[in-house]
Amino acid sequence: MGIPKDLFDFKIGTLELGKKNLISDVEGVRVGHFTLDDGNIHTGITAILPHQGNIFREKVVAASYVINGFGKSTGLIQIDELGTIETPIILTNTLSVGTALSGLVKYMLKENEDIGISTGTVNAVVCECNDGYLNDIRGMNVKEEHVKIAIENAIDDFKEGAFGAGTGMSCFEFKGGIGSASRVVNLDNKDYVLGGIVLSNFGSKQDFILNGKKFFTIEEEKLFLLEKGSIIIVLATDIPLNERQLKRISKRASIGLSRTGSFLGNGSGDIVISFTTSNKIKHYEERDIINMNILNENKMDLVFRAVAEVTEESVISSLVHSKTMIGRDGNVRKSLMEFI
């Protein structure tokens, strides 16, 4: 659950940590994995549920932001147009986006008999990173039914590191994967939570920064390497925000990324999705005018800070919780913990 407090002699940022230091500190948010980890196969599905009800019938207000668009995600266009999410968010590997999309659509059809008959279709959200260095990505080993299993496995105290979609991912040439963190934000004398989860698969070892310092000395650095790979960042909060404000906080995730050493390279797909559980939109709303609470813009700085801290710690947490892996064709990614 987040970075173990006794692991390092420093704390990332200044804000108070959430109870579990996970995205699931936001009430109702759950995360589930389905993991494939055998031989040359190191991949899977991670499902993020914005709340425990019917997400299609009770959508969460949301936004997305593309930091760098070398990616194959689905569903972002409608999120930006309508400002809502109406399905679980599914993470997987690049070549399994189509399969995961079909699996998610079939799950939503089973849960909602009205979709495509008495109402419209559904905007399924799937995001990806390329785990091909460790995983036999050409094997297309993710199946549609794995999406349903991951959704049904969703819990609040989920595992980080090499699980689900994070199984075969690499980060700063170490073993990467799933990482999460949360921060408490006090507004009007009430505590709210902002949490994040990342699928980390980016960066070169020569650029890695830990606690504001380069992790490897100049003598240990390699020749300049292009930044390749991707990261998916999902931010959740119970702070009342509208879709424009969610877009604003999404942009600040790039600050947390840069603090770990990323320079948002040409070949990196850096995607952010943000949602609030406080403002929901009913699919079958009968009123013409609906009310929505939003945050005073002059108070946004505290939320921006929380986003930066959560993103930075989530990346580090994905490294801390990942063990050394021997993957496809003997390719190896060592755990960061071997160097601590």
- List the catalytic residue out of 250, 270, 274, 314: 270
Cα–Cα dist 159/237, whole Å:
20
DSSP per-residue string spanning 135-199: S-GGG----HHHHHHHHHT-BSS---BSSGGGTT-EETTEE--EEEEEEEEEETTEEEEEEEEEE
Return all residues near 206 (Cβ < 8 A) that are at least 6 apart: 216, 221, 222, 224, 225
Beta-bridge partners for 43: 36
Q: Note if 230 is an active site residue.
A: yes
Host H or E run for residue 109: helix 97-111
SS3 of residue 119 by DSSP: strand
DSSP per-residue string spanning 38-104: ETTEEEEEEEEES-SS-TTTEEEEEEEEEEEE----BSHHHHHHH-EE-S-EEEEEGGGHHHHHHHH
SS3 of residue 300 by DSSP: helix
- List the catalytic residue out of 268, 274, 314, 335: 268
The answer to whether the CB of 35 falls within 8 A of the CB of 164 is yes
Cα–Cα dist 249/65, whole Å:
9
- List the catalytic residue out of 73, 180, 204, 230: 230
Cα–Cα dist 236/57, whole Å:
19
Burial of 331 (0-12, 13-18, 19+ CB in 10 A): middle
Q: Note if 157 is an active site residue.
A: no
Residues with a catalytic annotation lie at 230, 268, 270
